[in-house]
Chain A
Amino acid sequence: MNQEQAALRTRTLLWVWTIFVIVVVYLPVVCSALASLTKSRYFLFPIRKWSFDWWDKTMASIEVSTLVKTSLMLAGSVTVLATLIGFFGALAFARYNWKGRSLFQKVVLLPIFFPQPVLGLALLLWFNALGLPLSWHTAVIAHLVWIAPVVTLVIAIQVYGFDPVVEEAAFDLGASRLQVMKEVTLPMLWPGIWSGMLFAFLLSWGNFPLSLYTSGADSTVPKWLFTKMIAGYTPMVPTLGTMSTLGAALVLSIGGVAVILARRRSN
């Protein structure tokens, strides 16, 4: 039974380590939530006076609702566009064998492997050279540059598991190219597309370095958090941060359920 014990020990160690790291990962998120529940502006622990004041204030603020609206519009637009672009990108990445494919695969990945503050600055300079006024519209483009490749990759992984022969069979059975896409290709790739959308939305929602340089006067939630954090800090910062985290968690769980359902249906 020695071996069994050794295996058990390894399993236990792996679990302990993983759970430890997960706890560490969420520790600051919890600290942030604590800071939103204190009455005073500066944080001392243990908290002397607990209060929901900052939550009330944050909820009531037009400022914050504007931020949330801007962030939602930004993330929503990025989701739609990135999924559209990424879907076709994924087909080019994994489905078709074409002359430039190998090069394409590498080029698509480049923006992911690129320091985001530098990318944000580069886009700022470029928009500036074009004389394009900065707003959340320009931030959409900036986010797309980074997120569309991520979505391409996410969907591509699904496309790899997809046998193109099925398309051929549908074609052979008299479906038009559009029908093949609608009846065969799309339904089979749904789980990947959903995951891609989820990633697009959440990554855009949480992005800071790209928004910082490219959204101009339109502040997003992360950008506002940053500016308030360095000057004008109030516990509204951790409050909105915690709200944003909870919102992302909600989207993730709803989206996650959708992905699971889509996967179940496609099986």
Chain B
Amino acid sequence: MSETALMGESRQKLLLDLVGVRKTFDGFNAVERIDLSVMEGEFFTIVGPSGSGKTTLLRMLAGMDQPSDGAIYLRGESLNDMPANKRPTCLVFQSLALFPHMTVGQNIEFALKMRKIAPAARKARALELMRVVRLPETYYSKNVMKCSGGEKQRVALARAFAYDPEILLFDEPLSALDYKLRKTLEKELKDLHRETGKTFIYITHSLEEAMVMSDRIGVMRDGRLVQVGTPEEIYTKPSDKFVSEFMGEVNIVQVRPDGAGRYRSEDLAGSFTVNAPPSTDGYVVIRPEFLRFLASPSDADNHLTGRVHNEYSLGSRVQYQVRVGERMFLVEQPRRQSFGGGDVTIGWDAADAIFVAE
């Protein structure tokens, strides 16, 4: 599947190639036969729920775990035998893994010290990197454990940059931060990516985060890569129910073809039209923002009748829960609307719904 995604970007150079990579822990397959290619300079994000194997995959890239099977190639050369301290990759840990007994400066200079670079040169480079990650120079000799969460994050970044890796690996580095700080740092990371031109491989369980920053996204489930594509592709063409559900709150209706080009659901009255459907059982996925309240049933390709159950303000939008029979549908509107106690009709166009297989 990655082949198709590659076609459009064939001008870029292939950097990393994973072929049939598998990792087994005590008989349990943490990662199952993954094939994936990452381009030079790309910001590639792997998204998946916890336990989907994404951290294991990342640790194999970093050289901390060895694949049980398959190979990882960097520009065509196998990385399998190369230990972590020799690989041109650098991992930014979820825990950040800062060295608690060192100052900010010592943390950043660590990789340089390991290469036996002279102290003066080390310090110059550290200060330069501190500017890049927007840390004040005065922090140079500060105890790293006395820094705030965001500052620690920047130290970890600078430390990774100091290693000057070709590929930076990120293991959910922002997950412990508060919402506002996370948003700021997401943008900064994106900027840093552009400024440095390095390849970033980033893992997160937040699709939102992935959307903001990534060139391409891979979705993982139970050790498999289920879909790889641009944020746009993932968003608009999820490959299956899992991917579409993972993308956030969506309305999903299980359907089967009724033989007349339309689809029927067991627990809902009426039938639906879908653009370009295969003739199998599956699901119709409708995003809340594509559902709307209809003045008359004919205002949209498909419609349902129900009652408003609840409404929530999302700040910029308003979300309504509409009960249709036993089912609850989510409808999002830019503005608040008031309804009497009576029935409402909701509907959507065939072009806004996606059909996915099981």
A interface residues with partner B (beta carbon < 8 Å): 1-4, 7
CA distance A3 to B81 in the complex (A): 6
CA distance A2 to B83 in the complex (A): 9
Question: Does B80 count as interface, using CB distance less than 8 angstroms?
Answer: yes
**A-contacting residues, B58-88, CB 8 Å:** 63, 66, 80-83
Output the nearest chain A residue to B81 by Cβ-Cβ distance: A2
Least Cβ–Cβ distance between A8 and chain B, in angstroms: 11
Complex contacts, A4 vs chain B, CB 8 Å: 66
CA distance A4 to B81 in the complex (A): 8
Complex contacts, A1 vs chain B, CB 8 Å: 66, 80-81
A-B contact pairs, 12 of them (CB 8 A): A1-B66, A1-B80, A1-B81, A2-B81, A3-B63, A3-B66, A3-B80, A3-B81, A3-B82, A3-B83, A4-B66, A7-B66
CA distance A2 to B82 in the complex (A): 8
Least Cβ–Cβ distance between B81 and chain A, in angstroms: 4
Complex contacts, B63 vs chain A, CB 8 Å: 3
CA distance A90 to B83 in the complex (A): 45
Complex contacts, B82 vs chain A, CB 8 Å: 3
CA distance A4 to B82 in the complex (A): 10
CA distance A266 to B300 in the complex (A): 59
Least Cβ–Cβ distance between B65 and chain A, in angstroms: 10
Q: How large is the interface on B (under 10, 10 to 19, 20 to 34, 35 or more residues)?
A: under 10
- A interface SS class: helix
Complex contacts, A7 vs chain B, CB 8 Å: 66
Output the nearest chain A residue to B80 by Cβ-Cβ distance: A1
CA distance A2 to B78 in the complex (A): 12
Output the nearest chain A residue to B68 by Cβ-Cβ distance: A4
Complex contacts, A2 vs chain B, CB 8 Å: 81
User: What are the 6 closest A-B residue pairs judged by CB atoms, nearest first?
Assistant: A2-B81, A4-B66, A3-B83, A3-B66, A3-B81, A1-B81
Complex contacts, B66 vs chain A, CB 8 Å: 1, 3-4, 7
Output the nearest chain A residue to B64 by Cβ-Cβ distance: A3
CA distance A25 to B289 in the complex (A): 72
Least Cβ–Cβ distance between A2 and chain B, in angstroms: 4
Interface centre among A2, A3, A4 (most CB of B within 10 A): A3
Complex contacts, A3 vs chain B, CB 8 Å: 63, 66, 80-83
Complex contacts, B81 vs chain A, CB 8 Å: 1-3
Instruction: Other than A3-B80, A7-B66, give 5 A-B pairs with Cβ distance below 8 A.
Output: A1-B81, A3-B63, A3-B66, A3-B82, A4-B66
Least Cβ–Cβ distance between A48 and chain B, in angstroms: 52
CA distance A2 to B66 in the complex (A): 10
Least Cβ–Cβ distance between B69 and chain A, in angstroms: 11
**Per-residue 0/1 for B83-111: is the Cβ within 8 Å of any A Cβ (1 yes, 0 no)?**
10000000000000000000000000000
CA distance A19 to B66 in the complex (A): 27
Output the nearest chain A residue to B86 by Cβ-Cβ distance: A3
Least Cβ–Cβ distance between A260 and chain B, in angstroms: 22
Least Cβ–Cβ distance between A204 and chain B, in angstroms: 39
Least Cβ–Cβ distance between B141 and chain A, in angstroms: 27
Output the nearest chain B residue to A6 by Cβ-Cβ distance: B83
Least Cβ–Cβ distance between A11 and chain B, in angstroms: 13
CA distance A4 to B69 in the complex (A): 12
Least Cβ–Cβ distance between B24 and chain A, in angstroms: 13
Least Cβ–Cβ distance between B328 and chain A, in angstroms: 35
CA distance A1 to B80 in the complex (A): 7
CA distance A4 to B60 in the complex (A): 12
CA distance A4 to B66 in the complex (A): 7
Least Cβ–Cβ distance between B295 and chain A, in angstroms: 54
CA distance A2 to B79 in the complex (A): 11
